[in-house]
Amino acid sequence: MPRTVSRTRTIPATRSGAQDDEVARLVGAAAEGNSRAWDALVSRYVALLWSIAFRHGLNENDAADVVQNTWLRLFEHIHDVREPARVGSWLATTAQRESLRLVAQHQRVVPSADETTFDGADRLQAPVDEALLAREQVAEARAALDTLPPTWRSLVEALTQEPPLTYEEIVVELGVPIGSIGPTRGRSVRRLRELVAD
């Protein structure tokens, strides 16, 4: 599992065969316990997971739970991923399910005679083109993450790794005062939420 802060990079909106090969190679290496491969996967997809959680209306703590649980699911099932090159779609689907699970936990069932309540899209149905949606969300989320100041961006990545770095490790890794970690995390997540909502 990753234990170091990964560096960010821009994720293009389209994928090529070379990119598919690179992702498949990273998944294979991560499955063998390569921490650099895990770091690269986290760097590539962490913003996507945050954006999916926020799009479901989750608060910061619940969104962080979704991100953590999604990485945990990948760690538990990485040998079962049938198409390693499409691990982004796998992560997006898992994050969506984790988000829906939390949404359902927070909602109360309220009887209603209003039939229009059920006229909207079924949130439990997979998107028509899941892979395309995942690629668009990756690009959008990465763009939002890249607008953060470098220290904020590194902090978000450090806190969303699986397992996350401790505050003490973040102090050593990023050289920031321990008392600034919580407030910076809050500002970063609020900024990301605003950017994703826009």
Of the pLDDT bands very low, low, confident and very high (cuts 50, 70, 90), residue 29 is very high
Q: What is the pTM of this model?
A: 0.52
Give the 3-state DSSP-derived string for 17-83, with helices as H, strands as E and coil as C: HHHHHHHHHHHHHHHCCCHHHHHHHHHHHHHHHHHHHHHCCCCHHHHHHHHHHHHHHHHHHHHHCCC
What percent of the chain shows pLDDT beyond 90? 25
Maximum distance among all alpha carbons in the chain? Answer: 58
- For the stretch 159-193, pLDDT in tens is 877 777 788 888 888 888 888 888 888 888 888 77
Burial of 122 (0-12, 13-18, 19+ CB in 10 A): exposed
- Say what the pLDDT of residue 180 is: 83
Of the pLDDT bands very low, low, confident and very high (cuts 50, 70, 90), residue 109 is very low
- Say what the pLDDT of residue 70 is: 93
Q: Which helix (H) or strand (E) holds 178?
A: helix 178-197
Domain boundaries, the chain: 17-106+135-197
pLDDT of 12 strictly over 70? no
Vertex 6 angle, CA 189 and 178, to 5°: 55
- For the stretch 132-163, pLDDT in tens is 666 777 777 777 778 888 888 888 888 877 77
Mean pLDDT of the 86-109 span = 85
- Say what the pLDDT of residue 123 is: 54
Q: Residue 121: count other Cβ atoms within 10 Å of its Cβ.
A: 7
- Say what the pLDDT of residue 2 is: 46
pLDDT of 7 strictly over 60? no
Of the pLDDT bands very low, low, confident and very high (cuts 50, 70, 90), residue 127 is very low
pLDDT of 72 strictly over 50? yes
- Say what the pLDDT of residue 193 is: 78
